[in-house]
Amino acid sequence: MSNPTAAREARALSVLMCRPTYFTVSYSINPWMHPENPTDTSRAIAQWDALVATYRELGFEVDFIDPLPGLPDMVFAANGGLVVDGLAYTANFRYDQRRPEAGAYAEWFAGAGLTVADAQFINEGEGDLLVVGDAILAGTGFRSTTESHAELAGLVRHQVIPLTLVRDDFYHLDTALAVLDARPGHEQIAYLPSAFDAASLEVLRSRYPDAIEASEDDAAVFGLNAVSDGLHVVTAAAATHFQAQLAERGFEPIGVDMSELRLSGGGAKCCTLEIRRHPSTSQMDPFAE
């Protein structure tokens, strides 16, 4: 069990991002997307540039994948796969509009020297697969299947814990749950209770009794679609109550405006895929030479 008052410790993350050069809302695959409403690509780019600058100020290593025309949601790099312990488990998108993104991200993973495991079952990467200590919280209900959870469990040493989402406005796990401290033994999360079914809520409350329970208002502005280095939490600027909750727990919230990208159902975390090239200490084989 983690200690909610423990001293926080920042770790510099390595992340992959994709510039929203072709961002627009031209189709609808979640309740946030309304193609009839105008979008401002230049504003989306400016907000994304500010997010990149924030990460660099925090000491993150930021890599980039080239955006491709005709793939307006490619900016949401978190959906491109899951990278843990140097293994890249590829995305296998549910909707046809996004399926070509998977190959582009798989090609980047291979070029970066990662071991690539091609997913046979529907999953949308870190959108539904969040690493917390020795576990991977695995969302299902809208985008990723339980078959993909079983497939992933056969590839990693982490325990894969299924969680069922029940609200289509929180269609990915990373819209309803934020990993605040991923260190084994120091695990800390925040989540929106109403986004989960009763069995999943029981799992979360049992496993993370000191978790932050976010408000409906903060979740609605994608406050939980956040990126944390263990101390600093990059979250939606409008999620002010959530920022106060974070500060009470010893975190340092950093508000960013991702309102244009939210028109497609994404925020800071959606734009950010963590590249975990090396196993955590607790996952290392003590008998390896």
Q: Is 270 tagged catalytic?
A: yes
pLDDT of residue 288: 35
pLDDT of residue 281: 53
Q: Checking DSSP bridges between strand 135-140 and strand 177-181, what pairing results, if any?
A: unpaired
Quickly state the pLDDT bin for 285 (edges 50, 70, 90): very low
pLDDT tens column, 82-136 = 999 999 999 999 999 999 999 999 999 999 999 999 999 999 999 999 999 999 9
Type of residue at 195: A
pLDDT tens column, 164-175 = 999 999 999 999
pLDDT at position 286 over 50: no
Read off φ and ψ for residue 60, nearest 5 degrees: -70, 150
pLDDT at position 283 over 60: no
As to burial, measured by CB atoms within 10 angstroms (0-12 exposed, 13-18 middle, 19+ buried), residue 225 is buried
pLDDT at position 60 over 60: yes
pLDDT of residue 30: 97
pLDDT at position 6 over 70: no
pLDDT tens column, 251-282 = 999 999 999 999 999 999 999 999 999 886 55
pLDDT at position 160 over 80: yes
pTM for the model stands at: 0.95
As to burial, measured by CB atoms within 10 angstroms (0-12 exposed, 13-18 middle, 19+ buried), residue 167 is middle
Nearest to 254, CA basis, from 274, 239, 266, 267: 239
Enumerate domains of the chain plus CATH numbers.
14-280 (3.75.10.10)
Q: Is 232 tagged catalytic?
A: no
CA–CA gap between residue 51 and residue 55 (Å, rounded)? 6
Q: Which of 18, 149, 158, 270 is catalytic?
A: 270
Tokens of 80: 């491109």
pLDDT at position 55 over 90: yes
Please give the mean pLDDT across all residues of the chain.
95
Q: Is 133:188 a contact under the CB 8 Å cutoff? A: no
Is 86 strand, coil or helix?
A: coil
CA–CA gap between residue 88 and residue 106 (Å, rounded)? 8
Mean pLDDT calculated for residue range 9-32: 97
Burial 25-56 (b: 16+ CB within 10 A, else e): beeebbebbeeeeebeeebbbebbeebbebbe
DSSP letter, residue 206: H
pLDDT of residue 284: 44
Q: Which of 18, 149, 158, 172 is catalytic?
A: 172
